[in-house]
Amino acid sequence: MYFTLILKQNKYSRRKRRISYLIYFIYMWSTVHYWPIEGDATGGSYDERTRDVCSDAHASNARLALKGSTASLSLSLKRTGDTMSHRKFSAPRHGSLGFLPRKRCKRHRGKVKSFPKDDTSKPVHLTAFLGYKAGMTHIVREVDRPGSKVNKKEVVEAVTVVETPPMIVVGVVGYVMTPRGLRSFKTIFAEHISDECKRRFYKNWYKSKKKAFTKYCKRWQDEEGKKQLEKDFASMKKYCQIIRIIAHTQMRLLPLRQKKSHLMEIQLNGGSIADKVDWAREKLEQPIPIANVFGQDEMIDVIGVTKGHGYKGVTSRWHTKKLPRKTHRGLRKVACIGAWHPARVAFSVARAGQKGYHHRTEINKKIYKIGAGYHTKDGKVVKNNAATEYDLSNKSINPLGGFVHYGEVTNDFLMLKGCVVGTKKRVLTLRKSLLVQTSRRAQEKIDLKFIDTTSKFGHGRFQTIEEKKSFMGPLKNLFFSSPLLLPFFRLGSRFWSLSAKSDPFLSLVPAKGFACFFCRSLP
């Protein structure tokens, strides 16, 4: 900040003399506060004609003497900091208007509003899947990006684990193209449908008669019904342009209390219409694993509902600037919400309201790992789905104590880079990318060196429970978990063990109707 004071000094003028004192005060104040001063006197140099300044700026007898009948003095003060003691009166708008209206989503499950474009040259495949957010951890990997500064170097990155148990196909839907969009042509359901899927068709499963699909299932049993189903499949091959399957999740495989499964339509891409119908008919009542839909190092899109925060003000909802401290009637507000006329509040003005629980689509999430769930091999349960080529320890993807607010992941899972929308346990829709991925980041091969499995509740230290046991030794809870009966005898008012060196009685635990006395042996 620059400003210049230029004046003419008359030594016989009292008013001018006071001005000289003011200039002297400004000079002294700027010197004390470490403001650089650039001076320019008559003739372009500092000499005795212009001014005499004491060498010690902090001395009490420093004086400014202006000599001559008339003199010209120019001071340029330069302020080094950019601090302001007031609030700015203009700023870019806060918050995006592209997500209006910011209100609670109607559906808890993310909706696919656009499937990838069909390519008939590829084999028949699914374009979406459903998963459940378990939690986050971090990994160590070596970057494979030639030309980059981090090439061939290890980096630590945050990842999200999404549990994806196999989905069950229960129906086929055919669509025809009309001038007004898609119209469903025919829907065919499978013969056997589980109760967790039927619950989706009832508002109160407990009070219902549970008669859904009882008459429909008889079509697959009698001859007339089979003939009608054959006609329906043939008409779908003849008239439909888009084929989608109806699939549901398996809630019984998840560590959740919910019993009602999530149901969605998944579009089939690749191949001809006849190939799609035959593929869907073959997969009826069959589970589809996540490995058949997505691949390693693939870029996908995540559709879901964000974490809800309830009713919030403008500072939290739109991130507007707080008003100065002494503002009357509140600080976390918008000072002006509009002009007198038009006599209404514009939609673009930040207002308080619902924050969070909005439907969002996040694109370009890279798959770091497609892990297999717990399975049996040669009569043994295999759980080492978190082991890598560099870390051969026998550990699962679950951290010590499980994922916080979720539990233990026992099924197939996806490991995605970064974070995803929603809270733990929230259902997420995973969709194939709508774009043709050609960037180096999208085509980079991921080679994981280490997956962290320490406890996510607090500061974890150990990767596995075996590592913790070997470091900590036997813990007290191990003794109390398995009741023991130790020989003891009573001497006076205390209980002692039969060993020569022992410690007095420590604790009393009832076990199977007996009194269990634990004694600690002295070294």
C-beta of residue 132 within 8 angstroms of C-beta of residue 384: no
Among candidate residues 62, 78, 94, the one where a domain is terminated:
78
Check pLDDT > 50 for residue 57.
no
Q: What percent of the chain has pLDDT over 70?
A: 78
Determine the average pLDDT of the residues in 412-419. 98
Total structural domains within the chain: 2
**Alpha-carbon distances of 422 from 29, 158, 428, rounded to whole Å:** 56, 16, 8
Single-letter code of the amino acid located at 199: R
Domain annotation covers residue 22: yes
Among candidate residues 43, 78, 113, the one where a domain is terminated:
78
Residues in the chain: 523
Look up residue 502 and give its two tokens: 């022992």
Q: CA–CA separation, 273 vs 120, rounded Å?
A: 9
Check pLDDT > 80 for residue 412.
yes
* Of 415, 379, 424, nearest in space to 397 by CA: 415
Q: How confident is the model at residue 488 (pLDDT cuts 50, 70, 90)?
A: low
Average pLDDT, the chain: 84
Determine the average pLDDT of the residues in 226-254. 97
**Cβ neighbours of 18 (radius 10 Å):** 9
Domain annotation covers residue 35: yes
Check pLDDT > 80 for residue 499.
no
Q: What is the pLDDT of residue 494?
A: 55
Q: CA–CA separation, 126 vs 109, rounded Å?
A: 18
Q: How confident is the model at residue 24 (pLDDT cuts 50, 70, 90)?
A: confident
Domain annotation covers residue 45: yes
Q: What is this structure's pTM? A: 0.77
Taking the alpha carbons of 359, 363, 369, 371 in that order, is the dihedral positive or negative? Answer: positive
Domain annotation covers residue 133: no
Domain annotation covers residue 66: yes
Could you report the per-residue pLDDT of 272-327, keeping only the tens digit for each?
999 999 999 999 999 999 999 999 999 999 999 999 999 999 999 999 999 999 99
- Domain of residue 73 covers 2-78
Q: How confident is the model at residue 49 (pLDDT cuts 50, 70, 90)?
A: very low
Could you report the per-residue pLDDT of 164-190, keeping only the tens digit for each?
999 999 999 999 999 999 999 999 999
Q: What is the pLDDT of residue 473?
A: 87
Poorest-pLDDT segment among 42-51, 295-304, 425-434: 42-51
- Phi and psi angles of residue 265, each rounded to the nearest 5 degrees, phi first: -95, 135
Q: CA–CA separation, 447 vs 309, rounded Å?
A: 37
Angle at alpha carbon of residue 305, lines to 124 and 385, rounded to 5°: 60
Domain annotation covers residue 373: no
**Cβ neighbours of 424 (radius 10 Å):** 15
Domain annotation covers residue 8: yes
Say whether 509 sits in a helix, a strand or coil. strand
C-beta of residue 158 within 8 angstroms of C-beta of residue 138: yes
Among candidate residues 32, 51, 78, the one where a domain is terminated:
78
Q: CA–CA separation, 126 vs 270, rounded Å?
A: 9
C-beta of residue 174 within 8 angstroms of C-beta of residue 219: no
Check pLDDT > 70 for residue 82.
no
Determine the average pLDDT of the residues in 435-442. 94
Residue of higher predicted confidence among 152 and 523: 152
Domain annotation covers residue 447: no
C-beta of residue 373 within 8 angstroms of C-beta of residue 413: yes
How far, rounded to the nearest angstrom, does the alpha carbon of residue 287 sit from its chain's CA centroid? 29
